[in-house]
């Protein structure tokens, strides 16, 4: 990760937390507004693409079965021949689900009245402190169940390496990575808390900004999920 402009972004690697999700107690006068973690099921679906992997492996097994039957194998024999591949595919899917669960379990997002704090990492735990004054804009993409993603656009030359953030980064923004609160339950409520705190901290009224498209959306489809607000410097 490149050093942040004027050292306004801080990265901590630690083994001890003074408070859940925080490497040190909040300074006097700083208030905790919200704290939460990703929904691991939504994270597995959206970040780890578990459903797509299920469909992919399922299609391969069906294709294998069809080829065997077409080559003259009895149906029972063809089914027996898919047991091994099915077991391997199930093991792979279980590992992906476990990774999503561990990622969600080890992640804590924190909003205070001054900054966003992201505690992430399964084996190597990192904490990123992002002051509101270094945030240029934030977006919101809602899922049907109310969970959603909140990507943060950083100001100026501030950078956090994509690999340091993943899966807590907006997809496909490799050149200028955007930290993202991912698969957050009740994302609309979190977006309101973020917008109000950002406006109070920066003294700038938040203006409506288009939400980022999901990976499945066309690049020119930037409609706001369920009409919920995102913030940008007016």
Q: Which two tokens stand for residue 150?
A: 């909140």
Q: How far apart are CA 167 and CA 154, in angstroms?
A: 17
141: how many CB neighbours lie within 10 A of its CB?
Answer: 25
Cβ atoms of 140 and 149 within 8 Å: the answer is yes
Q: How far apart are CA 26 and CA 6, in angstroms?
A: 21
Per-residue pLDDT tens over the stretch 43-102: 999 999 999 999 999 999 999 999 998 888 888 898 999 999 999 999 999 999 999 999
CA dihedral 128, 132, 134, 139 (to 10 degrees): 90
The mean pLDDT value for 175-202 works out to: 93
Cβ atoms of 197 and 132 within 8 Å: the answer is yes
- Supply the pLDDT for residue 207: 64
Per-residue pLDDT tens over the stretch 104-156: 999 999 999 999 999 999 988 899 999 999 999 999 999 888 999 999 999 87
Report the range out of 17-26, 51-60, 152-161, 205-214 with the highest average pLDDT. Answer: 51-60
Q: Which two tokens stand for residue 212?
A: 């980022």
The mean pLDDT value for 10-30 works out to: 71
- Supply the pLDDT for residue 231: 66
Cβ atoms of 137 and 18 within 8 Å: the answer is no
Q: Which two tokens stand for residue 171?
A: 């997809």
């Amino acid at each position: 990760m490149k050093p942040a402009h004027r050292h306004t972004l801080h990265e901590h690697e630690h083994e001890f937390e003074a408070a859940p999700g925080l490497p040190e107690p909040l300074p006097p006068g700083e208030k905790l507004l919200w704290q939460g973690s990703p929904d691991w099921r939504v994270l597995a679906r959206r970040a780890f693409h578990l459903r797509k992997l299920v469909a992919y492996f399922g299609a391969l097994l069906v294709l294998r079965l069809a080829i065997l039957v077409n080559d003259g194998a009895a149906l029972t024999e063809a089914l027996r021949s898919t047991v091994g591949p099915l077991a391997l595919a199930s093991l792979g899917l279980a590992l992906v689900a476990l990774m999503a669960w561990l990622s969600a379990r080890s992640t804590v997002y924190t909003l205070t009245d001054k900054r966003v704090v992201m505690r992430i990492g399964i084996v190597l735990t990192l904490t990123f402190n992002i002051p509101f004054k270094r945030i240029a804009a934030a977006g919101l993409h809602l899922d049907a169940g109310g969970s959603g993603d909140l990507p943060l656009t950083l100001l100026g030359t501030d950078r956090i390496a994509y690999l340091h953030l993943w899966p807590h980064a907006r997809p496909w923004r490799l050149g200028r990575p955007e930290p993202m609160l991912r698969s957050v339950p009740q994302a609309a409520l979190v977006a309101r808390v973020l917008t109000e705190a950002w406006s109070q901290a920066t003294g700038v009224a938040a203006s409506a900004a288009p939400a980022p498209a999901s990976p499945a959306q066309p690049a020119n489809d930037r409609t706001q999920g369920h009409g919920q607000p995102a913030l940008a410097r007016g």
